Structure 1
Amino acid sequence: MSYWASHAWLGAHVEPGVLLDVTEGRISAVRVGVGTPPRGATVLRGLTLPGLANTHSHAFHRALRATVQVGSGTFWTWRETMYQAASRLTPDTYYDLARAVYAEMALAGITAVGEFHYLHHAPGGAPYDNPNAMGEALIAAAAEAGIRITLLDTAYLAAGFGQPPNPSQLRFSDTTADAWAERASLLKDSDHALIGAAVHSVRAVPAAQLGTVAAWAEERRAPLHVHLSEQTAENDACQAAHGRTPTRLLADHGVLGPRTTGIHNTHLTDEDIELLGSSGTGTCMCPTTERDLADGIGPAAALQGAGSPLSLGSDSHAVIDLFEEARAMELDERLRTHIRGHWTAGALLRAASADGHAALGRPDAGVLEPGASADFTTIALDTVRTAGPAPRLGAETAVFAASAADVRHTVVAGRHLVRDGRHTLIEDVPAALASAVAALHR
């Protein structure tokens, strides 16, 4: 099987006429300077990029889109609306919603998602007969939508420092980290799904139990993610309870390291930045959510300079558009510093692809090279947003002008998942989304 790209970004520059040979779901050869498509090759007109990685997702938050834009408030008032949506989900309705959300991601050029999953049990906290019914619904939904998933099964044990879960949080909690580990251990990797771990936050996992989650991930050499310093209130509460920042608390309990990714990393001290960078802990920025929730602008440039790899996520799915996330990271930094050009377009695309896949435990994805997973996406270069610039400026066009609406093709493991802007497995994605969301608002 071969795909001929009229133009492809190969990591350093854009090449015209690139032939990608695919064997058993992997790129077996990359040939440049192929002026016309060979017979039998599938033609991808536009700019072909490595498949995008959505490093941080809460699939059920998609049901909040527009609903939470009514009126004003804070992160904490937004959270109450989120709890209401969570209370209505069952394994079946979660499958329906996630299947549609993951299909929306495929249409946006995303080939792998990191699902930060903490909605484990039935309302009231009682386990389902299958204790992983909700997580397995997400894994099945990703398979039906055709994308890869890293299920980041999340320990969420407390409402705050020294506080038991509130009624809305009971279905999130396994009571102890040991009980969480026992349940999470029943989940297994598959061809399209990897199992990782997450600490919801330092306020939601007691300090004495952080090491249990970290050890579980270390034993499996699995990704470990954590919401970190998203809110100043979290920092203040951690200082009051432990006399240190959340980052220092995580470091003291063995949570930081190269397989760990901090989500948001917004309100950090200089020491926090050094701890994250020197340990190789990654940073996932979610700019569209961070601005939607009025969280603030995190020190992404300083973190990367200290040694923290950057990735991107759509988090609450205010929009699902990794080009917008990449663009926003640069433009937010410009607003904060009054200086332009903190990252090249290529560096931002790497955050949206290779570095995101690495954060999800897939270091063999996110590049158009022999041996890599055959996961790639193509944006049109002839829309009202992308027409005009020379194709050699394709990386700049993708980051600073394109949107998810410009995606024309998405290929996962060599399978042509999105063809000419249409999902090949789910005929009507908007209708599937509308139906799944409506079911949660009845």
Structure 2
Amino acid sequence: MGMATTLHFASLFTPDGWCRDARVTVADGLVAALETDTSPQLEDERHDIGVPGMPNLHSHAFQRGMAGLAEHRGKGEDSFWTWREAMYRFVHALDPDTFEAIAALAYMEMLEAGFTRVGEFHYLHNAPDGRPYANSARMAEALAAAAANTGQTLTLLPVFYAQGGFGGIPAGTEQRRFVTDAEGYGRLLEASRAALAGLDDARLGIAPHSLRAVTPQSLNEVLALALEGPVHIHIAEQEREVADCLDWSGARPVQWLMDNADVGAEWCLVHATHVDSSELAAIARTKAVVGLCPITEANLGDGVFPAVEALAQGVRFGIGSDSNVRIDMTEELRLLEYGQRLIHRRRNCLAGSEGGSTGRALFERALTGGQQALAAPSPLSPGAPADIVSLDAGHPSLLGRREDALLDGLVFAAGQGAIDCIWRRGVKWVEGGRHRDREAITARYHKALKGLLA
């Protein structure tokens, strides 16, 4: 065991609740011990407020490079489907180096926002002409390098993408960089596992892209490869997707999935925006996690997930940054609650029991849901990676607050501006709200974007 370091927090939020005078001993990047109600020692690094790092359960890192580029109106009504055309044009120009530079910026910004593990829903596998790279995980290697160079933790979710729409519609030329078959996907998983070999705490899962992008047969073939890790799928994100699924199968997307796949707690149903009461009940029974991305869902005009009814039925959820149009953990939580307030025209919709803190309820549920969805260990438990976020007790929106009121102040008032330091596996990557390698990562990103957008 290497040299141990100790962090002392006057107030620390753990999975068991708030602790006072908490002393965290870190050895070899892992939590070796957590003592409470203990005075700081001379060698301790002292901080006022600490919380666990948050999992980001759904990201397409490369889309960070097109943030803000699809905010002009075209002919007719703009929607997810018109945004997708802009994304296809952007993705065509990416090579492994620019892909890595964009992912590094996104992963750095995630760390600064308090996200200490990302679920990368990775579907950009092939060269621009659609042919596989000699190493089928070449682009996955770029993601692994971006994670290594920023300190971010990676749950890699290679995507299986076989068709262009429900009923076996062939993929279009604009989708050729995504497409593979079941045999090729098996090789991709093995190569991806090798790409992750040098990363601490990395996980590998699988990701059938969506019901519109896989056939029932190929879905079963891919699920047979899920020998470890989580299973993620886009589902019921847009009303048109629901209508198309009904036309194809006679069933709604979540209903069809529940009837045709063995969905369990290892699954993450990304978005699930348009679900009915029976589908929510089915999700709750499986103990699957719903992956909510409120900023992206609002940006794309997808709709609002029925979170009040979902929580009443016991549905689990986590949060993700998806298109990365804006990377902000607190804003994802805040917008999740505000969407419900606008629909139901009342306040504190997701607080749970009477007198409950909405900030704590949002943070705690997203923490446990994200942890489950990304196959991550319980934070701050013995042997878990030391992934910790400290908050600035002097921030105007945290002054005079204690315990749950700190989380209310963080989510609804202070936002990301209250984040001070972030440790990932015991290494302080962020201090004063800034990543230690921000200048170099940003400079590389500038160079990559100038070449792409010239």
Tell me if 1:87 matches 2:89: no
1:10 alignment partner in structure 2:
14
Q: How many residues align?
A: 435
Structure 1 residues 55 and 424, CA gap change in structure 2 (3 angstroms): same
Q: Residue by residue, what CA displacement relative to the aligned partner does 1:267-319 show, whole Å, maximum 9, x if unpaired?
A: 11222112211111110110001111111001123233333311000111121
Q: Which residue of 2 aligns with 1:23?
A: 27
1:204 alignment partner in structure 2: 213
Match of 1:246 among 243, 253, 256: 253
Work out whether residues 101 and 441 of structure 2, in 8 Å CA contact, stay in contact via their aligned partners in 1.
no
Q: Higher relative contact order at CA 8 Å, sep ≥6: structure 1 or structure 2?
A: 1
Unaligned runs of 5+ in 1: none
Q: Any stretches of 5+ residues in structure 2 without a counterpart?
A: 352-357
RMSD, aligned α-carbons = 1.9
Q: Distance in 2 between matches of 1:385 and 1:397?
A: 6
Q: How does 1:108-187 map to 2 (within 5 A)?
A: 108-161=113-166, 162-174=168-180, 176-187=181-192
Please list the CA deviations of residues 243-265 of structure 1 after superposition, one character each: whole Å capped at 9, or x if unmatched.
Answer: 11111222233152110000111
Q: 1:244 to 1:391 in 2, by over 3 A?
A: closer
Contact 2:182-2:222 at 8 Å conserved across structures = yes
Paired with 1:328 and 1:374, the residues of 2 have a C-alpha distance of 28
User: How far 1:183 moved relative to its partner?
Assistant: 2.1
Q: Tell me by how many angstroms 1:411 deviates.
A: 0.7
Q: What displacement does 1:86 show?
A: 0.7
The aligned residue for residue 292 of structure 2 is 285
* Corresponding residue SS for 2:304: coil
Residue 387 of structure 2 contacts residue 425 of structure 2 at CA under 8 Å; is this kept in 1? yes
Structure 2 contact 396–414 (Cα < 8 Å) conserved: no
2:41 corresponds to which residue? 38
Q: Deviations over 1:191-214 (max 9, x none)?
A: 232111111110011122111222
Residue range with higher mean Cα deviation, 49-58 or 394-403: 394-403
Residue 186 of structure 1 aligns to a residue whose secondary structure is helix
Give the Å deviation of 1:104: 1.1
* Further displaced range: 391-400 or 234-243: 391-400
1:390, CA displacement in angstroms? Answer: 4.4
Alignment-mate amino acid for residue 251 of structure 1: M
Write out aligned runs for 1:187-202 (5 A).
187-188=192-193, 189-190=196-197, 191-202=200-211
Structure 1, 109-118 or 376-385: larger mean CA deviation: 376-385
Please give the per-residue CA displacement for 1:197-235, whole angstroms capped at 9, x wherever unaligned.
111110011122111222211xx2310001110011111
- 2:160 maps to amino acid: A
Match for 2:388: what amino acid?
A: F
Q: Which amino acid aligns with 1:314?
A: S
Match of 1:102 among 91, 104, 107: 107
Q: Is the 8 A contact 2:289 2:369 kept in 1?
A: no
Match of 2:381 among 369, 390, 397: 369
2:373 aligns with 359
Q: Deviations over 1:65-94 (max 9, x none)?
A: 121223362111111111111111111111
> For 1:60-79, what aligned pairs fall within 5 Å after superposition?
60-71=62-73, 73-79=78-84
CA contact (8 A) 2:56 2:117 kept: yes
> Structure 1 residues 316-325 or 184-193, which shifts more?
184-193
> Bigger CA drift: 14-23 or 281-290?
14-23
Identical positions, percent: 33
SS at match of 2:205: strand
Is this contact kept in 2: 1:54–1:113, CA < 8 A?
Answer: yes
CA–CA distance in structure 1, aligned partners of residues 418 and 306 of structure 2: 30
Does 309-318 or 384-393 show the bigger shift? 384-393
Instruction: Spell out the pairing of 1:38-57 with structure 2 (5 A cutoff).
Output: 38-45=41-48, 47-57=49-59
